[in-house]
């Protein structure tokens, strides 16, 4: 009898502390695929900042939170081991919401076959939540135009790095906000951003003014934090702000206040929050938009690989400390 | 030689103090209409909160501010006294941007003939800036649907009272925020709002919760101030916020901070600032939308009449104190 491991949410985080104490690993027998079902061996699991929201006690989260005792939710990449389903064959690679588990049985719903030649890392780092989120927010909210200036926070993150590269390919001036000099170096010298600011440095307002001499037309917000106010204060007339993440505030006892709204009027700015679960129906169109950029080699990424299912439990902390060095992927 | 009075902006307000010391009244000889021109005797002049922005030192204002030494800007209603213009006849009533003056000569640009039967007060209180602003913000940003709940701040004001009545006519639950019990009484018992809150009373959060049991779908913001946060915190999924005015903050040394943006994501809210000058090209369409409601008697208004051009100088303070009892109009 072969066993596999699955990880359940056991407690909700308090005071922003995330760690193994919140989870419970259980051993189960590897099931067989029933009629119309497939058995998937997950090989790579994606860790995303949104997970912290799914675990949190706040009932306002935008998709149903993970209940205590449920398998922790995540997207992943895996190989089909058994198939009784006409659309899937043994050996096919699939991706989709798999959860924190080494094996799963599925009727195929919500799982998509991965094109041969697309490896697990590219699939999870670009063609999954990060790339879809970047494409949705940048094009449908940010509405970028060549010659405009965009500022992206969390710019070395899985979403922000794609947003910046797409905007750069479209002829915008692209400034990224990051949390380390190493990340600043990477987005400027490897990804081709026009400038970067380490938000842990001094004189943020002045640095931003120097890097955005013509003001800011599009603001892609992944983090929150004090620099939000400086960026907001340089928004141009008819500016667009896509609010994608507020990681700096998710675990705060009292989230920091936002900018005063007068500038929304004087500059006629639109601020729009979004979340990918609303747009899963648009995935084919989003992939259609994103894929040519990837094929033309315009989207680079880097991954930060953790090993083994249990490493996910503490790995989520990397989003809070900013110590992740690329798309977080757990290799199972 | 007949003289008339014109009022120029002489100083910019400091520390939010508005009064006669900011203006300079000058006497001029009444001119004659030249070729292609008309001479208009302004009979009614509109005072609007936006004027405080036009006078302010802040160069971020959304339409060009009034320069020192220029005639103070305003819209008005008047009668044609002389005409050398093929489209206008002596005795026609016109409205448009006339400025703080008793007479003006114009080539007709920016002046529109008023339909016979529409009196000066209806013209300025409904078919001018207030009604156009209400219609633009409510329909193009608020996108109201029958059965939804809308909260309007400045609800007894010239814009807010129209927004609420339009929304009520469209089948929404309409709650207004006002600055006195008298105004609360007026919007509920005369205009038909479903509820009102005097923002100077206690337990704002609890009052709001009781009046909006299903949350808030549309927020039409005319004022700013602390209640903004309570309203924001009750916004429903896919809520729309039209930011039209922030009168509570215009003259503040340090404008109050706004709400944290996490809720923008969790509820996928859109916040959009707007200003009518961007939409003057849409006036025919806006009037086409607004007029049927007026014709069906669904839009009531009240006016607060001041007498004589000089009364405008101190009259603007009524916006800051909230003591205006309806659309402010100066009768010349």
pLDDT at A277: 83
Q: Are residues B217 and B316 in the same domain?
A: no
Number of domains in chain B: 2
Tell me if B15 is assigned to some domain.
yes
pLDDT at A16: 76
Q: Are residues B150 and B256 in the same domain?
A: yes
pLDDT at A60: 57
pLDDT at B219: 98
Q: Are residues A326 and A200 in the same domain?
A: no
Report whether pLDDT(A320) > 90.
Answer: no
What is d(CA A328, CA A305) in angstroms, rounded to the nearest whole number? 6
Which among B257, B258, B266 is the nearest to A61, CB-wise? Answer: B266
Exposed/middle/buried for residue A283 (C-beta within 10 Å: 0-12, 13-18, 19+):
middle
Q: What is the pLDDT of residues B116-151, one digit of tens each?
A: 888 999 999 999 889 999 999 999 999 999 999 999
pLDDT at B64: 77
Scan for tokens 């004659």, then name that residue: B32
Tell me if A119 is assigned to some domain.
yes
Structure tokens belonging to residue B184 = 């609360």
C-alpha count within 13 angstroms, C-beta hemisphere, residue B149? 20
Q: Are residues A258 and A246 in the same domain?
A: yes
Q: Are residues B133 and B159 in the same domain?
A: yes
Q: What is the mean pLDDT of residues A44-50?
A: 92
B243 CB within 8 Å of a chain A CB: yes
Q: B197: which residues sit within 8 A by CB, 6+ positions away?
A: B175, B176, B177, B178, B184, B204, B207, B208, B211, B227
What is d(CA A217, CA A229) in angstroms, rounded to the nearest whole number? 15
Residue B321 pLDDT grade (very low, low, confident, very high; cuts 50, 70, 90): confident
pLDDT at A62: 61
Residue A206 pLDDT grade (very low, low, confident, very high; cuts 50, 70, 90): very high
Domain that holds residue A213: 129-278
Report whether pLDDT(B16) > 90.
Answer: no
pLDDT at B61: 55
Exposed/middle/buried for residue A203 (C-beta within 10 Å: 0-12, 13-18, 19+):
exposed
Q: Are residues A12 and A119 in the same domain?
A: yes
Q: What is the mean pLDDT of residues B14-32?
A: 92
A243 CB within 8 Å of a chain B CB: yes
Q: Are residues A324 and A222 in the same domain?
A: no
Decide which of A295 and A331 is more confident: A331
Are A62 and B265 inside 8 Å of each other by CB? yes
Residue A61 pLDDT grade (very low, low, confident, very high; cuts 50, 70, 90): low
List chain A residues with CB under 8 Å of B255: 260, 262
B244 CB within 8 Å of a chain A CB: yes
Average pLDDT of the residues of chain B: 93
Tell me if A147 is assigned to some domain.
yes
A57 CB within 8 Å of a chain B CB: no
Q: Which residue of B271, B276, B280 is the best one to mutate when testing the A interface, meaning the one whose CB has the most A CBs within 10 A?
A: B271
- The size of the A-B interface in CB pairs under 8 A is 125
Report whether pLDDT(A228) > 90.
Answer: yes
Are B273 and A275 inside 8 Å of each other by CB? no
Report whether pLDDT(B110) > 90.
Answer: no
Residue B221 pLDDT grade (very low, low, confident, very high; cuts 50, 70, 90): very high
pLDDT at B28: 96
Q: What is the mean pLDDT of residues A70-80?
A: 96
pLDDT at B200: 96
Percent of chain A with pLDDT over 70: 98
List chain A residues with CB under 8 Å of B260: 224, 246, 249, 255-258
pLDDT at A56: 83
C-alpha count within 13 angstroms, C-beta hemisphere, residue B284? 1
pLDDT at A59: 58
Tell me if B292 is assigned to some domain.
no
Average pLDDT of the residues of chain A: 93
Distances (CA, A) of A316 to A6, A44, A48: 17, 15, 8
Report whether pLDDT(B1) > 90.
Answer: no
A256 CB within 8 Å of a chain B CB: yes
Tell me if A236 is assigned to some domain.
yes
Q: Which of B240, B262, B277 is the last residue of a domain?
A: B277
Q: What is the mean pLDDT of residues B51-80?
A: 85
Q: Is there a contact between B62 and B274 (Cβ–Cβ < 8 Å)? A: no
Report whether pLDDT(A209) > 70.
Answer: yes
Q: Is there a contact between B187 and B176 (Cβ–Cβ < 8 Å)? A: yes
Q: What's the full length of chain B, in residues?
A: 332
ipTM above 0.90, yes or no: no
Q: What is the pLDDT of residues A94-152, one digit of tens each?
A: 999 999 999 999 999 889 899 888 899 999 999 988 999 999 999 999 999 999 999 99
Are B267 and A58 inside 8 Å of each other by CB? no
Tell me if A290 is assigned to some domain.
no
What is d(CA B268, CA B311) in angstroms, rounded to the nearest whole number? 46
Q: Are residues A145 and A84 in the same domain?
A: no
Report whether pLDDT(B204) > 60.
Answer: yes
List chain A residues with CB under 8 Å of B280: none
What is d(CA A287, CA A119) in angstroms, rounded to the nearest whole number? 16
Q: Are residues A119 and A141 in the same domain?
A: no
Structure tokens belonging to residue B44 = 């009614």
Q: Are residues A105 and A156 in the same domain?
A: no
Percent of chain A with pLDDT over 90: 82
CATH number of residue B144's parent domain: 3.40.50.720
Q: Are residues B107 and B134 in the same domain?
A: no
Q: What is the mean pLDDT of residues A11-20?
A: 87
pLDDT at B158: 92
CATH number of residue A15's parent domain: 3.90.180.10
Structure tokens belonging to residue B105 = 């000569």
Tell me if A289 is assigned to some domain.
no
Scan for tokens 């700013």, then name that residue: B224
CA B166 from centroid of its chain's CA atoms: 15
Give the DSSP letter of residue A18.
-
Q: Are residues B69 and B151 in the same domain?
A: no
pLDDT at B272: 98
């Amino acid at each position: 009898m072969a066993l596999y491991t699955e990880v359940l949410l056991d407690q909700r985080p308090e005071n922003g502390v995330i760690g193994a104490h919140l989870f419970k690993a259980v051993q189960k027998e590897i099931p067989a695929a029933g009629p119309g079902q497939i058995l998937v061996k997950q090989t790579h699991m994606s860790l995303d900042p949104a997970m912290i929201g799914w675990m949190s006690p706040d009932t306002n989260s935008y998709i149903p939170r993970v209940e205590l005792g449920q398998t922790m939710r995540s997207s992943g990449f895996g190989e089909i081991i058994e198939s009784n389903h006409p659309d899937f064959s043994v050996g096919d690679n699939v991706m989709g919401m798999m959860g924190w588990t080494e094996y799963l049985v599925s009727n195929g719903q919500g799982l998509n076959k991965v094109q041969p030649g697309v490896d697990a890392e590219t699939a999870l780092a670009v063609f999954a939540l990060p790339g879809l989120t970047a494409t949705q927010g940048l094009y449908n909210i940010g509405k970028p135009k060549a010659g405009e200036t965009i500022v992206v926070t969390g710019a070395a993150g899985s979403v922000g790095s794609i947003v910046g590269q797409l905007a750069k390919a479209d002829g915008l001036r692209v400034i990224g906000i990051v949390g380390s000099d190493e990340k600043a170096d990477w987005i400027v010298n490897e990804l081709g951003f026009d400038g970067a600011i380490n938000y842990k440095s001094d004189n943020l307002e002045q640095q931003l003014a120097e890097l955005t001499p013509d003001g800011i037309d599009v603001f892609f917000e992944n983090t929150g934090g004090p620099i939000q106010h400086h960026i907001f204060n340089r928004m141009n007339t008819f500016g667009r702000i896509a609010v994608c993440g507020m990681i700096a505030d998710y675990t705060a006892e009292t989230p920091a206040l936002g900018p005063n709204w007068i500038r929304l009027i004087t500059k006629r700015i639109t601020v729009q929050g979004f979340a990918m679960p609303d747009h899963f129906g648009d995935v084919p169109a989003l992939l259609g938009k994103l894929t040519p950029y990837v094929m033309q080699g315009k989207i680079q990424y880097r991954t930060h690989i953790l090993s083994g299912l249990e490493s996910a439990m503490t790995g989520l902390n990397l989003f809070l400390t900013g110590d992740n060095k690329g798309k977080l992927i757990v290799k199972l």
